[in-house]
Structure 1
């Protein structure tokens, strides 16, 4: 004859199981209360605590800092701008004394030179440039003029800048392209520190400049002081366009600037 269990005895196993599960539940609640809160995006951004920057984060942020000076350029080297307050790059080779000042050519109403000495030709052997030089001036909008688009193989000398070979920064510019195709300075970005640029003058003098650096800078942050600022030695700046071409504005976003210093003179 089997033993009869009371109602309490029959319910005891279930109560023990329920008690065990209840204990587990209490333990889980206690552990979850100690875990860090997970931001699921429901809280306002302002209420979310900002993490302390790590060493890696600081190092990566430095990658966006502009270079302290103009880079040397080179094959397959990306061209980047230097800080606006950076000086012109140091000469690549020993410099020579500037040519004594002479009277510069004066422009007539048509823009053509009347009298005086002027640069007449520029040669850059590395990129196969051999081009005549005309004169350009500053427009009413404050922008430096360029050679006519119809003369894509012509460079322009800024008449208010020094004669190439004389003390100061001589300015020569030219187009990178026109509707007819590549122009005089299409390959200017290929130049690098140590390359040679020759400028021939109407007085028979030949000046050799050695590239000291090259950069590509936004036209909205053009390094005016570095390009046009006064210097004691005879230097040269060769400028063309670069970056992205804006079809609507018919212009490029950037300028490519080559910096060079007089290294030889003859004549």
Structure 2
């Protein structure tokens, strides 16, 4: 079953092999999250820092973050990858009650971290993640990204109908026990896109995949 970044687009993958936070992507389904805003909220300077998820979680109940909106920009609504016909709806997601990034229960729908960068942002990382599969839904489109080659184009369409194009420059399958999520969820630094899913060996005892597939892309 297929599956998954640096202060610049390629150094993160090297760093990703080294840190320590467990993340979860399960083949078991999750309840539907309540509420998906139609526009992104990108925060400017504030005394309240943007929340950084500790992991990608299968627990979907969402906790409202106390981040004051500063700038409203269009959220991504669709993603298309020029590889294996990968297409998916994208919904804004926040942080769940376990401190992880919420994900839509249906693997055919990807989640965009709404407290991070948006496609039209001039800095920071656009994070989009999805389950590989889930009971009751089957296999999702991100399951086909394990073998996506560098140089492949990713197109994001936002709620305003604008498109941004990105070129994949790195693909890495990384053990979940060593991922530096703070380096992924950045609102500063160069513009980049990071796609995340699960993969590698599926642990029957924990019902989680043991690795994350992390794909980094830069503006095309």
Among 149, 158, 162, the alignment partner of 2:113 is: 158
Among 228, 239, 242, the alignment partner of 2:199 is: 242
Question: Gaps spanning 5+ residues in structure 1: where?
Answer: 1-68, 72-80, 87-108
Deviations 1:68-112 (A, max 9, x none): x987xxxxxxxxx624499xxxxxxxxxxxxxxxxxxxxxx9322
Matched residue, 1:254 = 211
Question: Gaps spanning 5+ residues in structure 2: where?
Answer: 1-7, 19-32, 40-71
Among 144, 168, 172, the alignment partner of 2:124 is: 168
Conserved 8 A contact 2:36-2:93: no
CA distance in 2, matches of 1:242, 1:169: 22
Matched residue, 2:14 = 82
Q: Which protein is richer in strand relative to its size?
A: 2
* Structure 1 residues 1-267: aligned runs within 5 Å: 82-84=14-16, 110-113=34-37, 115=39, 117-148=74-105, 151-166=106-121, 167-179=123-135, 180-263=137-220
Runs of 4+ in 1 over 4 A off after TM superposition: none
Q: What is the RMSD computed on CA atoms of the aligned residues?
A: 2.6
Determine helix, strand or coil for the equivalent of 1:187: helix
CA distance in 1, matches of 2:82, 2:208: 27
Conserved 8 A contact 2:116-2:187: no
TM-score (structure 1 length as normaliser): 0.55
Q: Which protein is richer in helix relative to its size?
A: 1
CA distance in 1, matches of 2:17, 2:134: 33
Deviations 1:170-206 (A, max 9, x none): 1000111122432120111112221110000111210
Of structures 1 and 2, the one scoring higher in RCO (CA 8 A, sep 6+) is 2
CA distance in 2, matches of 1:202, 1:125: 21
Determine helix, strand or coil for the equivalent of 2:35: coil
Question: Matched residue pairs, number?
Answer: 163
TM-score (structure 2 length as normaliser): 0.66
CA distance in 1, matches of 2:193, 2:110: 13
CA distance in 2, matches of 1:154, 1:131: 6
Conserved 8 A contact 2:125-2:185: yes
CA distance in 1, matches of 2:202, 2:17: 27
